[in-house]
Chain A
Amino acid sequence: MEIPTREQLRAGDPAAFDLLFDAFANAVHRHAVRLTGDWSVAEDVVSLTFLEAWRLRQRLRPEGDSPLPWLLGIATNVHRNIARAARRHRDALRRLPARQSVPDFADELVDRMHDAAQLAAAQRALGRLRRGEREVFFLCVWSGLDYAAAAEALGVPVGTVRSRLSRARSKLRKIVDTGEPGPPAGQLDGGRSSAARSIQEKKR
């Protein structure tokens, strides 16, 4: 798999963004599914993340290795305020290819329902964390970034990543030990995605 250089991305070379999408769309998508708990919203987050990456390409630091932490940081920001990102790229979203509402195969649908239930359960637990703790959790634990990469993604000091993770561990340990239920999954960052949706739906 070919990974574009930071220099190519910063220069706005379209071919570099072609490679970037091939290399990291799935990683961003997985991250987005976990953040949103919703496959269709996750696709919007993927598109918005790469559109934002294009817009913000000159803010990518010139030095560093993989651009994945940068992308996941953008995805995290997009998810934090998806309505703002959707407004910014409104015209682009209007041209987004329409989703198929039903997967092609029934098996896939069953898998997805199972996955969704599993994810919802996990998100109930994660709902007990503060947003900052949850974001660090997603990046470090589920997307496999190390402390430094997560710090780059979120634009915070490494020490902050470390302490947030530590707090997340204490809280989750308590929840798992006591079997204490969290709030319903639907309330996790609830309502954020609806604005983006309504903007798009008008044109669909």
Chain B
Amino acid sequence: MSNDIEELARLLPAPVEADLAPDRHRLLKEHLMQEIQDAVRARPRRLLGPGWRAVKWGLAGAVPVVAGTVAFVLLGGQPTATAPAPTARNDATVAAPRNVLLVAATNALKTKSTGRYFVTRTETGYVFAAHRYDVLGRRYAEDWEPRSGKGRAWGVAQHLGAAPFGPGSQAAWRADGSPSAWTIPANGKNPEPTRVTAAAGPRTPGGAIGMQTRDGKFIAVARSYFLGGQAMSAAALAALPTDAAGLRAWLTKRYKADPDPLMTFQDRLIDDALHLLADMPVTAQVRSATYQMIAGLDAVKPLPDATDQRGRTGSAVAIPVRYEDGVTTLRVIFNRDSANVLSIEQLTAAGKLRGYTLVVSSGWTDERPPAE
């Protein structure tokens, strides 16, 4: 095959065998692994259940099907930033989603965006099939990130237990011998089978985020946040556009620069928007712009006021999605007065709950993290 190659090799022999110096090899590899670890750690944000690798809101395997099978329409222009905001109180039980979201957008401007620490407390619920019934597993996560990356980061995670879930599940569980643990099999998103116990687990505190190199060294890295397909520092988040049209344009540009074959444009926009509202240290202006951006999505539909799994009632909207496990809708429950997201629930077409993320609290504080 290679008369050409052989002759060329004779004409111009390879001039050097330039290996990387061993110390450069090590440093460049550490750098690469840190960047990768950063991206990996930024994605789950310690929010999710056993399927912590899942990108999306929710449970293991909750991955949207490939673009093209998704029914809803991508959005045309129509920036919403200039839409007049209604007065900051709206008492209709089922308001148009635009109105409710714009009320929240207005009220978001009043939220505190100063403080020593950005603290998120979340509870994640995930429903999985066990034999002939469903089980709901719950997990708690708390995260303290110092402003500007200086100071002690702290976090805690805890398995809150699991129990049969849904009508008839108790009887089916007893018929199954009342097991006290279940195994979620490995799948595309869960590389290893995950054992889930009925009993709660211990609280597992954690400190700084970082990575362990092969020689046992720990490299601490500043927390980063996954937005627009990239890991961003808190400082970079602070520079986000503060109006809805600008924010949307910024995200759109990011998606074009970093295509994701698994998610549609709208999936990505919604995923990022919900994270901006629920667990990212952004300014009040950016949160307000995010509510306005969601209000501008035609696919967002109004729902009656709803109560989350903690018994908190708030305004609600439905956002269509298409996940592999039959989830077709995200029900977002939020308090329009405080502009806090309360819960993001995943529902099937039949209205069955498949998982949720409860935002117990999310915001800035001057308090310090608990001692370990």
Binding site for B on A (CB under 8 A): 11-14, 17-18, 21-22, 25-26, 29-30, 33-34, 39, 42-43, 46-47, 50-51, 54-55, 58, 88, 91-92, 95-97, 99, 103, 115, 118-119, 121-122, 125-126, 137, 140-142, 146-147, 162, 165-166, 168-169, 172-173, 176
B9 at interface (Cβ–Cβ under 8 A)? yes
- Interface range, B side: 35 or more
Which B residues from 1 to 59 make CB contacts under 8 A with A? 1-2, 4-5, 7-9, 11-12, 14-21, 24-25, 27-37, 39-40
- CA A23 to CA B198, docked complex, whole Å: 44
Contact A96 B19 (CB under 8 A): no
Given contacts A92-B35, A95-B31, A165-B4, contact A29 B191 (CB under 8 A): no
Q: Which residues of A contact B174 (CB under 8 A)?
A: none
Whether the pair B15, A47 counts as a contact (CB closer than 8 A) is no
CB within 8 Å: A-B pair count = 120
Q: Given A47-B31, A54-B35, A115 and B4 touching (CB < 8 A)? A: no
Alpha-carbon gap, A115 to B12, bound state (A): 14
**CB-CB < 8 A to A55: which residues of B?**
258
A residues within 8 A CB of B16? 30, 33-34, 115, 118-119
Whole-angstrom distance between the Cβ of A32 and the nearest chain B Cβ? 9
26 A–B contacts from the bound complex (CB under 8 Å):
A12-B40, A17-B36, A18-B214, A21-B33, A29-B18, A34-B15, A43-B20, A46-B20, A47-B28, A50-B32, A51-B32, A51-B35, A54-B39, A55-B258, A97-B30, A115-B18, A119-B16, A140-B2, A141-B8, A142-B14, A147-B1, A165-B4, A165-B5, A172-B8, A172-B11, A176-B12
Is the beta-carbon distance between A97 and B29 smaller than 8 angstroms?
A: no
Give me the 6 closest cross-chain CB pairs, A-B, nearest first: A97-B27, A33-B18, A115-B16, A118-B15, A142-B14, A165-B4
